Amino acid sequence: MTTGVRRRMGVEERRQQLIGVALELFSHRSPDEVSIDEIAAAAGISRPLVYHYFPGKQSLYEAALRRAADELAGRFLEPPQGPLGARLLRVMGRFFDFVDEHGPGFAALMRGGPAVGSSTTNAMIDEVRQAAYEQILAHLEVGKPSARLEMVVRSWVSLAESTALLWLDGRRIPRAELELQLVHDFAALAAVSAAYDDGMADLVVRMLADEPADGPFGDLVGRLLDLAPRVPAQRLR
């Protein structure tokens, strides 16, 4: 019966509740600024009881980060159907949703202040980067990437991070524009590599061949070809 009496939580349930409360607080302010007292108050329990479940703030922070990392990695999952540009654009939408929801915490984490940077947190960040990298390779249907493809994909993942961090600092560009820009940036970085490497050229041609003209990749190529006449012809061979 649930007649207004507060139900006593089990150990695991209480841990999960504390992690949720902590993640919410750590998402909206730098972890440095969040105290155990606040977490206890937000969870409706006493400070000593928090310590019963977690030895200290760092361990609670790491548990919250674990949950956030799993959630973010989950947002990278996208069915392997339809044009690649549209898939990547949907993933970017979910990535920016995440960044939007966890802004200050994401910024503090990625900037690696002294109170939050540890080998555990760094390992979790690397794990999410690796998940993003593997998802992209899966969508490109590439099993064993060349060193150049690996560089393109990993450096683009890093570009997505830094673009999101720059966006959080003032939010002066509409996020939808940046989501599309990052999809275009992926094509642009791949094209640069394709200009000098046959394997990358084959991949980019294959990538574009399946794209509709009105998808993000087709639209970009069309717009760039429109710009080309403005550059003196002899400059373009």
List residues near a copy of itself by CB under 8 A: 111-114, 117-119, 122, 147-148, 150-151, 154-155, 158-159, 162-163, 166-167, 170, 172-173, 177-178, 180-181, 184-185, 188-189, 191-196, 201, 204-205, 208-209, 211-213, 218, 220-225, 227-228, 230-232, 234-237
Minimum separation from the CB atom of position 5 to a copy of itself (A): 45
Cβ burial 144-182 (10 Å sphere, 16+ → b, else e): ebeebbeebbbebbeebbebbeebbeeeeeebeebbbbb
When the beta carbons of 24 and 127 are compared against a copy of itself, the nearer one is: 127
Minimum distance from CB of 56 to a copy of itself (Å)? 15
Which residue number, 92 or 194, has a Cβ lying nearer to a copy of itself?
A: 194
Distance in Å, CB of 83 to a copy of itself, minimum: 10
Quickly count: other Cβ atoms within 10 Å of residue 197's Cβ: 17
CB of 120 to a copy of itself, least distance (A): 10
CA distances from 235 to 195, 224, 231, 232 (A): 17, 15, 7, 6
CB of 131 to a copy of itself, least distance (A): 17
Judged by CB, which is closer to a copy of itself: 9, or 173? 173
Hey, what are 221's tokens? 């190529």
Residue 97 or 177 having the CB closest to a copy of itself: 177
Q: Is 180:129 a contact under the CB 8 Å cutoff?
A: no
